[in-house]
């Protein structure tokens, strides 16, 4: 199954960017991440604390009227790289079906050559966020 078209579009955009353009685009994604809707605030406050050095990534999802899955994230502004990368995933995946989401290959982003712009640790984290989204999608999708 091909990856969702709006995610493919982001991947294609990145393939032609210079390193500086990639960094600027990541900042753009970080800055335009939508704030967490009020109705999820309570769930957010119950989130488990993460060990010291990690950026806390809060994630919740629900089905839209077409049965697609929509993710909402809350990541502190002090972590723009994590915000930017996670925002790529929500922009690329929101509204997709459960099947589309779980079919996204873990290495879908390799053509984006993000390793020019961010460290391998960050890319591992990026894969971690995608893996986490799949778990949340499975939970929401089966409700």
By CB under 8 A, name the binding residues for other proteins. Answer: 23-24, 26-27, 30-31, 50-55, 78-82, 84, 118-119, 121, 124-125, 127-128, 131-132
CA distance 134 to 126: 13
- Work out how close the CB of 54 gets to other proteins at its nearest, in angstroms, rounded to a whole number: 5
- Work out how close the CB of 39 gets to other proteins at its nearest, in angstroms, rounded to a whole number: 23
On whether the CB atoms of residues 126 and 85 are closer than 8 A, the answer is: yes
In the complex with other proteins, the residue whose CB is nearer, 98 or 129, is 129
Burial tier of 84 (Cβ tally within 10 Å: 0-12, 13-18, 19+): buried
33 closest CA partner among 103, 97, 99, 91:
91
In the complex with other proteins, the residue whose CB is nearer, 1 or 49, is 49
- Work out how close the CB of 26 gets to other proteins at its nearest, in angstroms, rounded to a whole number: 6
């Amino acid at each position: 199954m091909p990856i969702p078209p709006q995610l493919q579009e982001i991947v294609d955009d990145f393939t032609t960017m210079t390193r500086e353009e990639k960094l600027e685009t990541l900042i753009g994604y970080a800055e335009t991440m939508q704030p967490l809707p009020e109705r999820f605030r309570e769930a957010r406050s119950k989130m488990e604390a993460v060990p010291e050095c990690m950026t806390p990534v809060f994630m919740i999802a629900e089905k839209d009227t077409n049965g697609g899955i929509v993710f909402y994230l809350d990541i502190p502004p002090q972590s723009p790289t994590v915000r930017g990368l996670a925002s790529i995933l929500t922009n690329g995946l929101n509204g997709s079906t459960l099947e589309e989401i779980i079919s996204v290959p873990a290495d879908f982003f390799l053509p984006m050559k993000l390793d020019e712009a961010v460290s391998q640790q960050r890319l591992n984290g990026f894969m971690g966020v995608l893996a986490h989204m799949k778990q949340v999608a499975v939970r929401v999708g089966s409700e």
